[in-house]
Amino acid sequence: MANLESFILLNALIKLGMVVLIFSAATLLHRLAEHLAGLILRFGHRNHTPEQAETKPKRHLVLEDWLPDELITIEPLRLERQRTLRELLSSLISVTAFITAAIISLALFADTDTLVWTIGFFTAGISFAAGPVVGDLLSGVSIIFQDKLVVGEKIRINSQFIPIEGIVERINLKSTQLRARTGEMYIVNNGELRYICNFSRGPYSATSLRIKIAAADLLPALALLNRLAPEAPRVFPELNEPWLVFSEAGTMDHTTELTLALKIDFGQAARLRPKLMVFLQHHFAMEKIAFAN
């Protein structure tokens, strides 16, 4: 009897030791997940032929104009997509490692039928009680294939409460981190990424410049602005086309406000506005047209 108890105890200790080793291996995979994801991506990249690389459209990531200069990096979108894939693959490797470790550990203490029933109940329980979490994980995986966004892009999310706008700093299977213009960090579950406005993908950025003048100077001011419109894109290459002059308010008093609608290269609006203001001030002064208060 003592021998049987010793055998059972020894068997239990061996299994517990195996469980410790299994979860230690899972922990090691978790710590190495980012490096493994990088190796997978590099291996997949080497399998692309030069002809395949040439046929892919070359797209470039350009950040919006409100970022500080030291944070603005112009990189190919392919590199940012690889960084996003690396984050997601790293999370996927970690989750898979711990789930596999849990299943193997359970198999040490239960027979096949019990294991199948346990996994079935566990799956049903997760789908019922942790549906949002599973939805977030599946949404994280879908980001890989749908190419909705990558790290470094400026996006706006129409959330349940308020629109959230910021630069994507990190993406994992569970959530996406956005850095707002005012500096705070938003952490949004991937299941909430249903309606996304991506500002970093498009042919241009739209902005405007407002000019207030006296109503008596309206006619010469309009003539001057229309004359300068074709010249401005030659002076400022970042301006895509001549500006459009219109009155946003549509009212007249002793002063009138005119708006210049501008199409500008991504990330150049903040730098171009002061140049345009100096340009307009110089020509308005030459024509002796004063700006109103």
Higher pLDDT, 201 or 97: 97
Q: What is the pLDDT of residue 280?
A: 93
Q: What is the pLDDT of residue 282?
A: 93
Q: What is the pLDDT of residue 38?
A: 80
Count of all residues that appear for the chain in the document: 293
Q: Report, in angstroms and rounded to the nearest whole number, the Rg of the chain calculated over CA atoms.
A: 30
DSSP class of residue 259 equals E
Give the pLDDT confidence of 214-266 residue by residue, as tens digits. Answer: 988 999 999 999 999 999 999 999 899 999 999 888 778 888 999 999 998 87
CATH architecture of the region 205-286: 2-Layer Sandwich (3.30)
Q: What is the pLDDT of residue 45?
A: 62
Identify whether the C-beta of residue 179 lies closer than 8 Å to the C-beta of residue 167: yes
pLDDT band at 1 (very low <50, low <70, confident <90, very high): low
Identify whether the C-beta of residue 29 lies closer than 8 Å to the C-beta of residue 99: no
In what order do the strands lie in the sheet containing 244-246?
205-214, 255-264, 244-246
Higher pLDDT, 234 or 50: 234
Three-state DSSP string of 184-222: CEEEEEHHHCCCEEECCCCCCEEEEEEEEEEHHHHHHHH
Q: What is the pLDDT of residue 110?
A: 74
Most confident of 11-25, 122-136, 239-253, 277-291: 277-291
Confidence check: pLDDT of 64 > 50: no
Name which of 153, 166, 155, 168 is nearest 195 in CA terms.
Answer: 155
Q: What is the pLDDT of residue 131?
A: 64
**Average pLDDT of span 179-188:** 90
Return the domain boundaries, the chain. Answer: 2-198, 205-286
Average pLDDT, the chain: 78
Helices 77-109 & 131-146 angle (0-180, nearest 10): 140
- What is the pTM (predicted TM-score) of this model? 0.50
pLDDT band at 47 (very low <50, low <70, confident <90, very high): low
Helix (H) / strand (E) containing 128: helix 112-129
Torsion sign, CA atoms 102, 106, 108, 111: negative
pLDDT band at 283 (very low <50, low <70, confident <90, very high): very high
